[in-house]
Amino acid sequence: MARSSSRGVKPVYLLLGSTLVLALMGLLMIYSAASVSDYVQRGTSSYHMVRQLVWLLAGGAGMWLASRVDVRFGARRPGLLRDPAALSWGVWAFAVAGLVAVLLFGESRYGAQRWLDLGPISLQPSEFAKLGCVLVTALALAQWSKGQIPSNVLAGRLLASAGVVFLLVMLQPDMGTAVSVVAPVYLLLLLGGVSARVLVALFAGGAAGAAVLVWVASYRLDRLMAFLDPWKDPLGAGFQIIQSLYAFGSGGVGGVGLGLSRQKFFYLPAAHTDFIFAIVGEEFGLIGTLIVVLAFVVFTYAGIRIALQASNEFDRLLAGGITAMIATQAIMNMAAVTGLMPITGIPLPLMSYGGSSLMFTLGCIGLVVGVARRSSREAARARGVRVPATPSSASGAARIHLVQNTAARSSRPQATKGSQGEVSAQRRRNGGSHLPGADRGVSARRRRA
């Protein structure tokens, strides 16, 4: 891992870069996809786009805040804000309270009770439930791998935390979200080192459970049948997927051009939310859709890279779990709208319209950024460089000193080129990072040797 970090861009930039690309593209597509119905129904074509922009800005602030949450796994007596247990169970409890509230006074849309109306915005507590489960699972796995808790306690905690959330979400009912809650938990078990035998058994059990759930609810079966043969009921169950396929097909390779989608003229339902990817496909063609897929690949790659560089087991699982959660959702959405799996009502992370989903996703990414921050801080500390606990308060002088120090020790070609190396260092400093990753990696390896 150290070797790979010596080349190219730091993973956190890849993560932030792909996030920005997806969010901005989403904003553009929301404007395009919702403009017609907005104009017809509200008299202004930018209603949804403006709202999404507001949420994007708020989510950006939330991301920054989340990246500053300095969770310290293994610290003897961390403060409340730094205690991973307090954070994990806190988010989980908040989510569970929200889910209960939704069932009691929630707002029903599209046949499911998922939203909590809080005046200006409505929240989907199931989003927080996903994060809560990821946090609790990551913590439990980290403790388990450190030998702090035995396997049976681990199993008990996971069953309790994920089970409660799963049941509450299924009561809404929202099987798609329930799957997107369980999937990252399962993937965390894979990352956390649970034996292959257990993983296989769990997968088999989950599949059987899903089959049962499909059989007991007729609409799920309808959706499944519509997925298998949309043309059996082209104006009913198959309508959405057929219209989505029309959109992709109409786009071809180059797309029909920005704003020129025809399917958004009330043919494709939920064009600006769950089916935004289809509008990308129609307006920007294969080129556009592959850019989106590629952005998610970069995002996933960067998230996993950050996880692998994490300074402790909890951080590693946290970054891995959140990345898996977002990637799973992206895959579920894109697979559904391209007809590879049944439609489940999962939005495309970062792109679909929806404040709750967008702000939550950005907050989660903020947590991953926090993991990256801690790992680079730890790496610097491990090299013996004193780094202030909160980098934001670090003095400029100290940073320059740091850069010069490492540059002097570095054997990289740039450094020998003198002035060029200075410029490069300057640029990095302006970029707000503490250290060039390459220097850190190289020096760390040397020390080990």
Closer CB to other proteins, residue 2 or residue 28?
A: 2
SS3 content of the chain, % helix, strand, coil (to 5): 70, 5, 25
- Should residue 202 be labelled a site residue for other proteins when binding is judged by CB under 8 A? no
Among positions 69-108, residues that touch other proteins (CB under 8 A) are none
- Should residue 198 be labelled a site residue for other proteins when binding is judged by CB under 8 A? no
- Return the residue of 252, 388, 400, 417 that touches other proteins, per CB under 8 A: 252
Task: Tell me the sheet residues that pair with 123.
Answer: 116
- Should residue 260 be labelled a site residue for other proteins when binding is judged by CB under 8 A? yes
What does the angle CA 374 – CA 380 – CA 381 come to, to the nearest 5 degrees? 85
Residues 6+ positions from 285 with CB-CB distance below 8 Å: 251, 252, 253, 254, 255, 256
Name the strand (E) or helix (H) holding 377: helix 355-382
Please count the other Cβ atoms lying within 10 Å of the Cβ belonging to residue 297.
14
In contact, 292 and 351? CB cutoff 8 Å: yes
- Should residue 334 be labelled a site residue for other proteins when binding is judged by CB under 8 A? yes
Name the strand (E) or helix (H) holding 108: strand 107-109
* Whole-angstrom distance, CA of residue 304 vs CA of residue 314: 14
Per DSSP, 66 falls in state: H
Closer CB to other proteins, residue 148 or residue 420?
A: 148
Least separation in angstroms between residue 61's CB and other proteins is 29
Q: In the structure encoding, which two tokens stand for residue 444, read together?
A: 């760390």
Closer CB to other proteins, residue 288 or residue 355?
A: 288
Residues 6+ positions from 140 with CB-CB distance below 8 Å: 149, 153, 154, 157, 158, 161
Contacting range for other proteins; rule: CB under 8 A; set: 101-109, 115-123, 214-222, 257-265: 257-265
- Return the residue of 119, 120, 147, 432 that touches other proteins, per CB under 8 A: 147
Among positions 277-306, residues that touch other proteins (CB under 8 A) are 281, 285-286, 289-290, 293, 296-297, 300-301, 304
- Return the residue of 41, 44, 108, 148 that touches other proteins, per CB under 8 A: 148
Cis status, amide bond into 173, omega within 30 of 0: yes
Distance, CA of 16 to chain centre:
11
Contacting range for other proteins; rule: CB under 8 A; set: 143-151, 200-208, 395-403, 427-435: 143-151
Closer CB to other proteins, residue 54 or residue 190?
A: 190
- Should residue 146 be labelled a site residue for other proteins when binding is judged by CB under 8 A? yes
- Should residue 307 be labelled a site residue for other proteins when binding is judged by CB under 8 A? yes
Closer CB to other proteins, residue 47 or residue 296?
A: 296
In contact, 251 and 285? CB cutoff 8 Å: yes
- Should residue 308 be labelled a site residue for other proteins when binding is judged by CB under 8 A? yes
Contacting range for other proteins; rule: CB under 8 A; set: 102-110, 132-140, 332-340, 360-368: 332-340
Interface ranges with other proteins (CB under 8 A): 1, 40, 144-148, 150-152, 187, 190-193, 245-253, 260, 262-263, 265-267, 281, 285-286, 289-290, 293, 296-297, 300-301, 304, 307-308, 313, 316, 320, 324, 327, 331, 334-335, 338-340
